[in-house]
Every structure is written in structure tokens, then in C-alpha cells.
Amino acid sequence: MREIVFDTETTGLDNNLDRVIEIGCVELDNRFPTGRFLHHYINAQGRSVHPEAQAVHGISDADLADKPVFGAVLQEFLEFIDGAKLVAHNANFDIGFINAEFDRLGVPPVEPSLVVDTLAIARRKHPMGPNSLDALCRRYGIDNSRRTKHGALLDAELLAEVYIELIGGKQAALGLEISGGGDNAGESALAASVALSARPTPLPPRISEEERAAHEALVEKLGEKSLWHNLRA
């Protein structure tokens, strides 16, 4: 499964008026980085970089004067993302700008079903936050010391590491295989993994008797057809 983790920098916050001025993408295959990436600075075609945006990413109008326009890198970008899911942090912002650039060039917008928002995932997994990219790097022990300012490629590289941690990709990508195992090889591998991971002494319960009683009372109210009732049985 191909996924493209990407980030953009822009002249401002209004995708109807402002323009994409930097795009950075890194490729994941089955949740592992392949080493392939795409990176471009892009001429804003007369739209000046807002001072507040420049304070965030450090890109000036002068930096972009000799860079290609979005249309000049469009085909390369489309080929790079073809057939892949697009992963971004606060994806509505980045996809909104990408789709605005696409619209100006007569290209269909990115299908919402292809977009993965890591901010939404982080908010579900860590509802108490904070869930900025910097905060998630700190949470997962990812070195972001180079990130003195935002940069599309660096942020995409950091986000790829964060994304893998958020979805447990390092563990999910591992597989067990017994060579020449025949029909029961998969079952044997599963049994072996369970045997190896079993604790010699069970951990003590983490809920109180009062909490257990309250849960039992709730399950009784749900009735015999409820999922919780069946699990208890």
C-alpha cells in the first residue's frame, strides 16, 4: 500500500487568494519509508508572501522569484501521488490549497476518500492533546531539533515518523511466517507468538470494585442482546 505523506507552505491562509509556495512529499510503502521524495519551491505568480506566513516558514518573495510556477511541477506531482493515499497534518488546510491550485489548472480535486488527516487521528488517540506536530514529536521521542521554522519537506519527513507511531505501523507491519509449514503454519505461528508474549504473573486489575460494579449494572441495563453482555458471557 502506497501512501504519500506531504506538507505545503503558502503565502497566507486563504486558499482562494493565496498560493502554494512549497510542497514536500515522502513515500511510504506498507507504512515504511521508501527513500523516494518530491520537493519544490514554487513561484506565487504575483501573490506576495504575508509577513505572518513568512515568520512561520521563512520564505520570502525574493526566494521564489526564480522558482517554477505550480503548473510547471504539476505533472511530476500528479505522477508521484498517483494511486496513493495522501497523508497530512490538518489535511483540510493542505488539501484545500492543493485543490485550489488544481482548479486553476483544470485538474479534478483530490478525492476525500484518499485523504488521511493525522491531526484527526491524534485527537482521537490523545484527546487531551496537545497534538501539534512538534508536540507529537516530543510524545513519540522523534528528533525535531532541526525544525526551527516550518519547511514542507522536513515537516513531511517528521510527519511520516509520527504517522507510523500514531497507527502502530511498526508493529502492524511485522509478520510471522514458518517456512514449509503446511496448512497449520499460520496457526502455529500465532500460537508461538501467544506463548512467547504471555506474562508469567498477571497484572493486577486497574479498576476498582466500585467501577466494576457500576459497569456490571450498566451491562444489565443494556440487556441480553448487547455486545457487552455477550462479551461478559
Per-residue confidence band for 191, with pLDDT thresholds at 50, 70 and 90: very low
pLDDT given at position 149:
73
190 exposed, middle or buried (CB, 10 Å; 0-12, 13-18, 19+)?
exposed
Per-residue pLDDT at 152 exceeds 80: yes
> Which position has the higher pLDDT, 56 or 202?
56
CA–CA distance, 103 with 111 (Å, rounded to integer)? 13
In three-state form (DSSP H/G/I as H, E/B as E, the rest C), the secondary structure along 217-230 is HHHHHHCCCCHHHH
Rounded to the nearest integer, the mean pLDDT of the chain is 85
Residue 170 has pLDDT above 70, yes or no: no
Q: In this structure, what C-alpha cell is assigned to residue 84?
A: 496513493
As a whole number, mean pLDDT of residues 126-133 equals: 94
E-assigned strand segments in 30-176: 32-41, 85-88, 115-117
| Rounded CA separation 161/143 (Å) | 10
Residue 141 cell numbers, joined: 521521542
pLDDT tens, 53-90? 999 999 999 999 999 999 999 999 999 999 999 999 99
Bigger pLDDT: 148 or 72? 72
What is the percentage of the chain residues whose pLDDT exceeds 90? 67
**Which of 93, 103, 120 minimizes the C-alpha distance to 6?**
93
Amino acid at position 55, single letter: A
Q: Which residue has the higher pLDDT, 131 or 148?
A: 131
pLDDT attached to residue 169: 59
Assess whether 150 carries a catalytic annotation: yes
Per annotation, catalytic residue among 40, 150, 215, 229: 150
Per-residue CA distances from 79 to 7, 74, 102 (Å): 17, 9, 14
